[in-house]
Amino acid sequence: MLDIRFIRENPEIVKDNMEKKFREDTHIVDDLLAKDEEYRKLLQESERLRHERNQVTQKINDLKKSGGDITALLSQAKAIPARIKDIEEKQGSLKEEIVDLLKKIPNILDESVPVGKDSSENVERVRYGDPIMKGFPVKSHVELCEALGIADFDSSARVAGNGFFYLFGDLALLNQALIRFAMDFMIKRGYVFMEPPLMVRREVCDGMVDFNFFREIIYKIEGEDLYMIPTAEFPLVAMFINQVIEKKRLPIKLCGYSQCFRKEVGAHGIDEKGLFRTHQFNKVEQVIICEPEDSYRYYDELLQNSIDIFKELGLPTRVFESCSGDLGDLKAKGADLEAWSPRKEGYFEVGSVSNLTDCQSRRLNIKVDDGKERYFPHTLNNTAIATSRAMVAILENFQNEDGSITIPDVLGPYMNNMSRIEPKR
């Protein structure tokens, strides 16, 4: 959500920014400014009436002391509160409309963001590691899991429907190893490890994202003002909702482990079998709250953290930057980290980094106090590791012709020093 003062002073910049996102509703900027002007006029009128009421009250007191006739002034005094109330009701209604319009105006894109209409125009920035080419037919992770007896997608479908899974033995250990490895990695880099709540209130959802869009993929707890979190970013950032942070505490660097829950409806749908796109998954998330002038430096840091995690796992990756039309409205800049799939001979998303500048902190009313003034900090987030996606990458890239899976060296200490996942006899 942009600062209304910025929009008043730079309406054409805001419209141009919307056009870069291929938005055709730039008229909402004019609608917003018209309502804002009307709101400010009503504000001036209510202040004038309050001043008038104070003057009339003073005159009544003076006339009482002098024995004068106060009948006309009493009538005038009685009429003013009703006029003020009427104006305040109009103000309240206008304020809601203004906030709704503000939420529809996207964040100002960073100058480095490539202009493009949709994800087909995203830009590859850099690759790490050479794509692994197998000298034998590459099996899907579902085939491998079922052949090795380390996952059951049929039983989970009977129990909960498509989009869930049972992990057994070595694959369950691999999942936990990835979580522990990512946790230790982030702690060594100075991030505070946290386990957040798995449910949040509607107020948090509204502050974190465009909830009208996100409600399609988020689970609601029936009869309560609670929603299952789609990512740990929600409770980590919202921990500071309606709070004032002392400047000396910045930057705040957090990493949180949680299970995440998403309906995953829409164009992609849900995988009938497998680990790639599911209703429930495990993730270690990175979050930074920082000074505005530092946010792009920390954007690079968050992205590098994920790159280094996958480098240590030995997985080839690339950074695929989001173009203007593919960025969510709160994002000023974003990119996906993608891992190589030897089965598809292409890349797939394993994480996503975002700089939301001060749009998210405005919506959540998070402020910083430097002793002289209060202002909104910048918020950033990135996936450290989503274990289901990472397991797919490991199963595909490190499968052997005999059907076994080589375990990345860095995960061995977390898996009782195992080096392979092999068929059980």
Q: Which residues are known catalytic residues?
A: 262, 277, 349, 352, 389
| Separation of CA 255 from chain center | 14
3-state SS track over the chain = CCCHHHHHHCHHHHHHHHHHCCCCCCHHHHHHHHHHHHHHHHHHHHHHHHHHHHHHHHHHHHHHHHCCCCHHHHHHHHHHHHHHHHHHHHHHHHHHHHHHHHHHCCCCCCCCCCCCCCHHHCEEEEEECCCCCCCCCCCCHHHHHHHHCCEEHHHHHHHHCCCCCEECHHHHHHHHHHHHHHHHHHHHCCCEEECCCCEECHHHHHHHCCHHHHCCCCCECCCCCCEECCCCHHHHHHCCCCCEEEHHHCCEEEEEEEEEECCCCCCCCCCCCCCCCCCEEEEEEEEEEECHHHHHHHHHHHHHHHHHHHHHHCCCEEEEECCHHHCCCCCCEEEEEEEEECCCCEEEEEEEEEECCCHHHHHHCCEEECCCCEECCEEEEEEEEEHHHHHHHHHHHCECCCCCEECCHHHHHHHCCCCEECCCC
If one counts every other C-beta atom within 10 angstroms of the C-beta of residue 49, the result is 16
Instruction: Let me know the angle formed at the C-alpha of 259 by 256 and 264, rounded to the nearest 5 degrees.
Output: 120
- On whether the CB atoms of residues 359 and 108 are closer than 8 A, the answer is no
C-alpha pair distances (Å), 323 with each of 105, 116, 168, 336, 359: 17, 5, 40, 11, 19
